[in-house]
Structure 1
Amino acid sequence: MSHFQPEDDRYVGRQVRTIRARRGISQQVLADRAGLSRSAIAKFETGLRPIDSRRTLLALASALGVTIGDLTGSQEQEKLDPATAGFHAAVPDIETVLWARGNVTDTRPPRPLDELARLTHTVTKLRNDCDYAAIGPMLAPMLTDAYRHVHEADSSNAERAYDVFGTVAYGVASALRARGYHALAWSAAEEADRAARRIAAPAQLAAAAFSQGQIMLSRPGALPAALATTMGTADRIAADVRTAGEIETYGMLHLQASMVAATMGSDPEPHLAEAAEQAGRLTEARPNTSEARNESFGPANVTLWRMSAAIERREPGQVLELAPGLDPSELPNEGRRAQYFVEIGRAHAMQRNHRDALYALLRAEHAAPQHVRTLTPVRELVGHMMRTARRNLTSGDLGKLARRVGVVPT
């Protein structure tokens, strides 16, 4: 067994124990509130069992009256990481631009709309590859320019200005959510939705709803609203979905709905089947009429989300059956490739195959280090393996990975 000292470890169950003690409630009371067994609470709190599903994490957060961030502490730790400091340093400026709706002391002339549109594609690629440090300083100036264009637009270019603005706001919301700034991400997503409604663009409406659904998925009690938002929008735009961008963003709504369904304990398959059907339409889709796209969407990404839904439902066998049929090189960006290996790692860990789990997590980290090192399931899994794996693992690659993801002191 490992020589690792558990008192040095950082894991969600330890924070659960701390908050429970401060609330003055017993393990049994917490178990009753969360719909779990007292023995499960005890294992979480002592680190004998990782909290490895979103459903359990949400249940504990709701029972304790806190947010997921209060339990994981991942954002506060990430702010100390030099690799992502550039993103966090840019957040106050992004917040100011959103509060002021672009009316800020920025004397630069705004970029032309076409240049701003091209820049959104650059930022989207960086975001999909999880290079948040690179995009952080770019977001506030882009958002300022986008606001200026919609404020100054006349009837001849208003639709184009709002379309570009919606794409910028969606990108800002996605980046903020990924780094844990959920309230600010919601403000950006609302701006994207406001722009989409102004021009009644199906792809923009879908993108904004997808972003809102993802944000709500992080909040205890908001799962029904997340499903209603995504599927309500999907139902409203379904008859108008024709272009590639519309199919992509509409398909992503169904993928998001599949994850919400899995988290709620219901069947994700109807949503996955609809997404797969939409992916099959892409080859004959009409050209885009909007800047809104989600080029991650496609048959390979549908399979990946099917793997993620299976993990959430604690079906590791299905994950490992699906994985060989998906070539990670077919996935469209580093973020998606990293997620593929994370899901394989989690599946192996559920089957107590720690060596293969470690190998998969190392491949995931190589693909998207900024993203993988801050994922709560990865940190929980790595910490659990440190407590239970053999010494030859903990003193080698696993121990180094544990320090990089921050579950043990450096």
Structure 2
Amino acid sequence: MAGRLGMTRQNLSKYERGERRVLERGLLTRIAEAYECHVLDLTGEPYSPVDEQSAIAHSAIMPIQLALLDCDFDDVPDQPARPLDDLARGVRDANRQRDFTRYEIAGRDLGDLLTELQIVAATGDEAEQRRALTLFVEACLVAYEISKNLGHPTLGVEAARRGLGAAKRLGDPAMLGFARWYYALGLMRVGAHRRAAASLARGIEHMEAVADPSAADTLGTEIYGLLHLTSALEASRTGRADVAHGHLAEAQRTAARTGERNGLMQHFGPTNCAAWSLTVGVELGEGAGAAERARRENVDLNVFDSPNRVGAWHYDFARALAQDGGGRDMDAIRHLDIAARTAPQRLNHDPIARELVMELDGRARMAMWELDSLRNRFGLNVD
């Protein structure tokens, strides 16, 4: 087994005994593949809610699942749907609340929105159908992210798959590229890297022809850049550093031409490229070196206006510093604490974040209130 993972038996034994924690998703996937099990068999997701907001957010999972599995565009329930303007406001608000990691609000009406959009897409006139399909693709992103981040990544893949089907039915290049993008992210989350890479490659090929940074509407170009960023992440998790850096470079060239944008609440631009570069560096095991490069970028996190992205930045900073083996743990704890306070619903249910808390706690030479607080907020109350 150690040979299949490319590590010594001694190191594998440390992972098995919990003396060393899995802090990179690429390693988590390789371990699952080596043991011929699902990633969820190793992480034990979903975790029990640790606060009232999380408990409310979890209550949205079943309505999302029913909306995705109990009807489709060829078989919708016989019930009325709200006017499209009302549905559009609901989707946009849900996406905004998702970006603020307020899943208890983002998911509150999401099941009904998904169902009613399918009804309009099946029964409305052509213009109504196209608008409903466009909104459905965006709503499926919200369903994907809530499901995945609350510990139901397989349902997240189903949400992304349904979004991709709607985008194909719609035929709009930008929305199709957008759906391919988050479908690939969903596949990566469950370890399906081969298919994720294929979806990303297909998306880049199609979007390259329509990406125009000088156009009045740069959404297609933003999606093209996001596809390259995610391709860099996928390559980093499968150990292909040169490929990862090549995709990062193309995304950065694209961002330099678009400037800071926020199509569909995805924040593509130079700042987001810097954030993804840090994530890629962590997955490549570059440790504090990745953090120092990110620090030199002098990133202004206020550009995001997004707890989701700000929390991710501090979380990846913490992971990068923790890879140093203990010398930068105080800084790592500080950044992890900021991340968990900024985007609690995203972080508290993340298996790698939980591993990071336990890794830092296990290396601490004395009791620390900051670690006690993190353990409590993550529901990791151990002596």
Q: Same fold (TM over 0.5)?
A: yes
Cα drift, residue 260 of structure 1:
0.2
CA distance in 1 between counterparts of 2:337 and 2:173 reads 39
In the other structure, the counterpart of 1:381 is: 356
In the other structure, the counterpart of 1:71 is: 42
CA distance in 2 between counterparts of 1:134 and 1:196 reads 25
Contact 2:103 2:345 in 1 (8 A): yes
Which of 365, 368, 378 aligns to 2:343? It is 368
| 5+ long unaligned stretches in structure 1 | 1-29
Does 2:87 align with 1:87?
A: no
Cα drift, residue 213 of structure 1:
0.7
* Correspondences of 1:173-192 after superposition (within 5 Å): 173-192=144-163
Does 2:66 align with 1:100?
A: no
Contact 1:246 1:293 in 2 (8 A): no
Cα drift, residue 403 of structure 1:
2.2
Aligned residues: 371
Q: What secondary structure sits across from 1:387 in the alignment?
A: helix
Which of 294, 302, 322 aligns to 1:322? It is 294
Deviates more, 1:96-105 or 1:377-386: 96-105
CA distance in 1 between counterparts of 2:93 and 2:118 reads 19
Deviates more, 1:173-182 or 1:207-216: 173-182
* Correspondences of 1:146-161 after superposition (within 5 Å): 146-161=117-132
* Correspondences of 1:198-237 after superposition (within 5 Å): 198-220=169-191, 222-237=192-207
Contact 1:203 1:246 in 2 (8 A): yes
Cα drift, residue 314 of structure 1:
0.8
Contact 1:386 1:398 in 2 (8 A): yes
Cα distance change of structure 1 residues 164 and 83 upon mapping to structure 2, 3 Å threshold: closer
Cα distance change of structure 1 residues 249 and 65 upon mapping to structure 2, 3 Å threshold: same
* Correspondences of 1:33-182 after superposition (within 5 Å): 33-75=4-46, 77-79=47-49, 81-101=51-71, 109-182=80-153
Per-residue CA deviation, residues 199-257 of structure 1 (Å, 9 max, x unaligned), is 2111211121112111111234x212211111211102221234322222221111111
Does 2:228 align with 1:263?
A: no
Contact 2:260 2:270 in 1 (8 A): no
| 5+ long unaligned stretches in structure 2 | none
CA distance in 1 between counterparts of 2:315 and 2:50 reads 23
Cα distance change of structure 1 residues 398 and 199 upon mapping to structure 2, 3 Å threshold: same
Contact 1:120 1:167 in 2 (8 A): yes
Matched to 2:379, the amino acid is: G
Cα drift, residue 149 of structure 1:
0.9
In the other structure, the counterpart of 2:220 is: 246
In the other structure, the counterpart of 1:348 is: 321
Contact 1:146 1:164 in 2 (8 A): yes
Percent identical: 28
CA distance in 2 between counterparts of 1:97 and 1:184 reads 11
Cα distance change of structure 1 residues 186 and 346 upon mapping to structure 2, 3 Å threshold: closer
Cα distance change of structure 1 residues 280 and 296 upon mapping to structure 2, 3 Å threshold: same
Does 2:257 align with 1:281?
A: yes
Cα drift, residue 131 of structure 1:
1.3
Which of 346, 366, 370 aligns to 1:391? It is 366
Matched to 1:228, the amino acid is: A
Cα drift, residue 166 of structure 1:
2.0
Contact 1:129 1:368 in 2 (8 A): yes
Cα drift, residue 36 of structure 1:
2.2
Cα distance change of structure 1 residues 99 and 218 upon mapping to structure 2, 3 Å threshold: same
Greater relative CO, 1 or 2 (CA 8 Å, sep 6+): 1
Bigger Rg over Cα: 1
CA distance in 1 between counterparts of 2:20 and 2:378 reads 18
TM-score, L = length of structure 1: 0.84
Matched to 1:361, the amino acid is: L
